[in-house]
């Protein structure tokens, strides 16, 4: 079936904090949602990473990728994606172009599932599970703030069985560990803030808090040799990958034995197929898988399908706050600490375009 339209839309949606008594609020979250429509009117949806540059990701979809896709067969997902990668590689293999391709590729898979009337996980070969336990991924708070402890405890009360912090101090990690107890898995995401020697010292200082992993401890993210050194000398398992370019860089990171967990991000890495390649790399190298998914839209749904299909990662990452508006017509259900994998056709979710409209941003 021929593609007749490809469109990315940008939304700026205020975040709603879960805790009632926080002294600050999380600002607007940029969302880039992609739709691909075929000549019979069927529509598939996807999500491209936007964050601080949503207009750029959407522009690439609307002005660079759409003209290459209109008139082509929507069922040729692999062929079309390969064509997009080749046509855009000169603009950078990592970044905006790959974010845009991720959104389009995801929409093509959603479309294929809708056409076949089966959920994505079944289209990929079936699911090993129907619900994915989630970990609460707290945003970065002021270091040592009492809210870290309060939200950590609140997340546990809500059923989350694991916690991630985005804090940089030992003091904050100690607060969270005290709040959740000794048995709950705890991870800390550094977002590439440290020099290698600093990362080794901090990893050692955090050793007492039994971290499941330390995430992206060094700058720059593609410095695999330094990650390898931090891993060997820091005494804490490492995770990384949300800032890597396609499966090629993951293979290199695995070859250098730089981390214990690979973290593909479905809205950034190139989409569903690239994510699966990274899962293969993890499996073939005996490395853990811990995908990056601080998303609310189709990207989160896609990650649930992928984790249901590939039973390699124990948890799905859920950023610990919600958006001001319910973006899906039928929200993804959370029960007993796990998200239920949507079982409708494709991604199994429908964006509520009407509810989203007030938050739409047009350049
Ligand atoms: Mg991270």
Q: What is the DSSP string of 149-164?
A: HHHHHHHHHTT---EE
- Same domain, yes or no: 152 and 189: yes
For residue 188, how far is its CA from the centre of ligand 1 (angstroms)? 9
Same domain, 68 and 186: no
Please tell me the distance between residue 123's alpha carbon and the centre of ligand 1 in angstroms.
29
Enumerate the β-bridge partners of residue 12. Answer: 30
Same domain, yes or no, for 194 and 309?
yes
Host domain of residue 59: 3-117+354-361
Same-domain status, 100 and 146: no
**For residues 345 and 67, what is the distance between their CA atoms, to the nearest angstrom?**
27
Ligand 1 centroid distance, CA of 361 (Å): 26
Give the model confidence (pLDDT) of 53-94 as tens digits.
999 999 999 999 999 999 999 999 999 999 999 999 999 888
Q: What is the pLDDT of residue 245?
A: 83
Distance 293 CA to ligand 1 centre (A): 9
How many domains are contained in the chain?
2
d(CA 253, CA 95): 18
Whether 107 and 139 share a structural domain: no
The fraction of the chain above a pLDDT of 70, given in percent, is: 97
Question: What is the distance in A from the centroid of ligand 1 to the CA of 292?
Answer: 6
Q: Are residues 46 and 67 located together in one domain of the fold? A: yes
pTM (two decimals):
0.97
Q: Answer yes or no: do 226 and 141 share one domain.
A: yes
Is residue 72 located within the same domain as residue 131?
A: no
User: What does the mean pLDDT of the chain come to?
Assistant: 95
- Do 145 and 98 lie in one domain? The reply is no
The tokens describing 239, both together, are 């995770």
pLDDT interval class at 28 (50, 70, 90): confident
Q: What is the CATH number of the domain that holds 62?
A: 3.30.390.10
Query: Residue 286 C-alpha to ligand 1 middle, in angstroms?
Result: 21
pLDDT in tens, 270-297: 999 999 999 999 999 999 999 999 999 9
Which CATH number do you get for residue 126? 3.20.20.120
Report the Cα–Cα distance between both ends of the chain, in Å, rounded: 31
The β-bridge partners of 132 are 339
Ligand 1 centroid, distance to 166 Cα (angstroms): 8
Same domain, yes or no: 90 and 139: no
177 C-alpha to ligand 1 centroid (Å): 19
Q: How far is CA 115 from CA 40, 109, 152, in A?
A: 11, 10, 42
Reported confidence tier of residue 26, pLDDT bands at 50, 70, 90: low
Q: Rounded distance, CA 67 to CA 47, Å? A: 19
Tell me: the pLDDT tens digits for 236-276? Answer: 999 999 999 899 999 999 999 999 999 999 999 999 999 99
On whether both 82 and 128 belong to a single domain, the answer is no
What is the pLDDT at residue 17?
64
| Structure tokens, 194 | 């440290």
């Amino acid at each position: 079936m021929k593609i007749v339209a490809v469109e990315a839309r940008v939304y700026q949606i205020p975040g709603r904090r879960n805790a009632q008594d926080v002294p600050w609020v999380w600002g607007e979250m940029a969302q880039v949602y992609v739709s691909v429509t075929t000549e019979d009117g069927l529509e598939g949806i996807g999500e491209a990473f936007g964050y601080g540059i949503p207009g750029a990701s959407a522009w690439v979809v609307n002005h660079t990728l759409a003209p290459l896709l209109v008139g082509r067969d929507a069922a040729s997902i692999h062929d079309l994606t390969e064509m997009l990668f080749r046509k855009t590689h000169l603009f950078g293999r990592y970044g905006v172009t790959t974010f845009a391709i991720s959104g389009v590729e995801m929409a093509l898979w959603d479309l294929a599932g809708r056409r076949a009337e089966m959920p994505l996980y079944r289209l990929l070969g079936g699911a090993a599970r129907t619900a994915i336990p989630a970990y609460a991924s707290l945003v970065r708070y002021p270091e040592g703030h009492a809210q870290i402890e309060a939200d950590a405890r609140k997340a546990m009360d809500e059923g989350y069985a694991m916690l991630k912090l985005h804090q940089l101090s030992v003091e904050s990690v100690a607060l969270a560990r005290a709040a959740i107890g000794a048995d709950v898995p705890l991870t800390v995401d550094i977002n590439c803030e440290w020099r290698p020697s600093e990362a080794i010292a901090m990893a050692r200082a955090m050793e007492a808090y039994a971290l499941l992993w330390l995430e992206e401890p060094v700058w720059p993210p593609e410095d695999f040799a330094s990650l390898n050194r931090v891993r060997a000398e820091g005494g804490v398992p490492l995770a990384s990958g949300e800032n890597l370019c396609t499966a090629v860089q993951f293979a290199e990171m695995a070859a250098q034995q730089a981390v214990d967990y690979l973290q593909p991000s479905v809205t950034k890495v190139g989409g569903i197929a690239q994510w699966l390649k990274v899962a293969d790399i993890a499996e073939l190298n005996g490395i853990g898988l811990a995908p990056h998914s601080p998303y609310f839209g189709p990207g989160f749904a896609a990650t649930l399908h992928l984790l249901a299909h590939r039973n390699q990662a124990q948890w799905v990452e859920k950023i610990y706050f919600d958006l001001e508006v319910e973006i899906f017509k039928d929200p993804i259900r959370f029960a007993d600490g796990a998200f239920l994998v949507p079982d409708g056709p494709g991604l199994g979710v429908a964006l509520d375009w009407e509810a989203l409209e007030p938050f739409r941003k047009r350049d």
